[in-house]
Amino acid sequence: MTTSFDVITLMPQMFNALTIDGVISRAFENKLLELNLWNPRDFVDDIHQSVDDRPFGGGPGMVMMIDPILKALNKIKINHQDKDLGSSKVIYLSPKGNRFDHKKALELSNQDNLILICGRYEGIDQRFIDGWVDEEISVGDYVTSGGELPAMILVDAISRLIPGVLNKNDSYIQDSFYDGLLDHTQYTRSEEFKDLKVPDVLLSGDHKKIAMWRLKNSLYETFKKRPDLLKDRELTTEESRLLQEVIREQEHDSKKRK
């Protein structure tokens, strides 16, 4: 089954970043994913290919007009009917939207096809949002020059969760946020670099001890860097014990260094 992304954008060339290199690009090559780009300028008749105009009421900037975007959306839906695809979810990338996170990525990964709307300038005509958008999504409390980069973030994050996209189907299980915790720290060769050593347990070959160390480390990384995540996650009795243990260990090591 192929998961398709249809993106309405004035900057289709930006999406080459997804299809040229990396694990996601291989998924497109292997037909696990499909990316279709639709430029609103292709749906206007005037010689200047106008897709934006001044906002009613005055103010700076320009606003993307409803007609070219709606024509592009209707063409996408006709294309889906021809391919006998099911219903699509229409998402507008907007700083006003719901915050994108792992839970939302997992939810959207179960959709067979997604239609992503990338705004530019001061955004798009509100009537299109009210009438044809299913959900507004934000990638953070900041503003980008357009919706293309946020759309690429969605495509990448969602695609990783689709079976077969990663080299190992369980690879994303070890990522940060999968189980509500940050990922444990990682090390590779050489074993010692400028007197900095890899933790002995990772060289022990004892998989049970390594798994325990990684869980403790993951708990501590979350406690140290994103304590807000722990408020939303109910720790098991064992996880609580391990967290208190590693906190004591870190405090002890800190005192020794002083």
Q: Which residues are catalytic?
A: 95, 122, 160, 175
Q: How far apart are CA 37 and CA 128, in angstroms?
A: 19
CA 88, 91, 94: angle at the middle one, nearest 5?
175
Q: Is 24 exposed, middle or buried (0-12, 13-18, 19+ CB in 10 A)?
A: buried
In degrees rounded to 5, what are phi and psi of residue 102? -60, -40
Whole-Å CA distances, 74 to 90, 115, 155, 225 = 12, 11, 21, 45
Q: Which helix (H) or strand (E) holds 78?
A: helix 66-82
Q: Is the distance from CB of 6 to CB of 36 less than 8 angstroms?
A: yes
What is the per-residue DSSP string for 99-118?
Answer: EP-HHHHHHHTT-SEEEEEE
The first and second tokens of residue 201, run together, are: 């347990």
